[in-house]
Amino acid sequence: MNERMEMVEASRRLVELDLNRGSSGNISLRLGKHFLVTPSALPPESMKPEDMVLMDIAGHVLEGERPSSEWRAIQIGEPRILSDLEMEEVMEKFRGYWRR
């Protein structure tokens, strides 16, 4: 399974577990100097792999439409996340982070 589909499935699972509702929260996946982030205002049940937004670390959209607005919290509020070479994924649920 590819990364984009895994992000769709993880987003749907968060709703199933009642950890997110509607289009709240986001999932991002670091890909070297880029990252994928879930799209803005799109509920997980409507997401498709091609809806994931590819961005560079400066915040420029490289592929896709509008990224979830929470990606700014990762870039601005948590700069150590972007510089942590070992971290690959970030899930934001309300005000907390889960990292792997």
Annotated catalytic residues are: 70
pTM here?
Answer: 0.74
Say which CATH number the domain at 76 has: 3.40.225.10
Q: What is the DSSP letter of 74?
A: I
pLDDT digits (tens, 9 = 90+) for 41-95: 999 999 999 999 999 878 889 999 999 877 766 555 454 555 554 555 555 554 4
Tell which residue, 16, 66, 12, has the closest CA to residue 37.
66
Q: Which two tokens stand for residue 28?
A: 């991002």
pLDDT digits (tens, 9 = 90+) for 12-46: 998 888 888 877 778 888 888 888 999 999 999 99
In a domain, 100, yes or no: no
| Domain span including residue 37 | 3-94
Backbone angles phi, psi at 8, to 5 degrees: -60, -50
